[in-house]
Amino acid sequence: MTERAAVRLVVYGHVQGVFFRAFTLERARELGVTGYVRNLPDEGAVEIWAEGERDRLETLIGHLRVGPPGARVDRVVTGWSKETGGYPGFTIRY
C-alpha cells in the first residue's frame, strides 16, 4: 500500500499571469491528486495544497519546479503533513 500524505507548496518566481494555476490543475487531475491551487496576491506567488499518494505528490512537485512555458520558478517551499481527506477533487481557488 502506498503512503498517503498532504503537502503545502508555495511557488515563487514569475508564476502569475502565465497559466500556472491551469497547469497545476491539469497535472494534479492527471495524477489523481486532490486539493487546490491559488494565487497569493501579497507575495506574487502561487500556493498549492495537494493530497494523495506520496509518490504522485512527488511527481506533481517535479512538474511544479519546472512550470508551464512562460513561467520562471525561482523556488518551491514545501511542508508535508497528514492527509485530511477533505477534498473531493482538485480546484482553482480565486
Question: Which residues participate in catalysis according to the annotation?
Answer: 21, 39
In angstroms, the Cα distances linking 84 to 24, 36, 51, 71 are: 20, 13, 8, 30
| C-alpha to C-alpha distance for 59 and 85, rounded to whole angstroms | 20
For residue 77, the one-letter residue type is: V
Q: Strand 34-40 to strand 45-53: parallel, antiparallel, or no bridges (unpaired)?
A: antiparallel
Taking each helix axis from N to C end, the angle separating 54-66 and 20-31, rounded to the nearest 10 degrees, works out to: 150
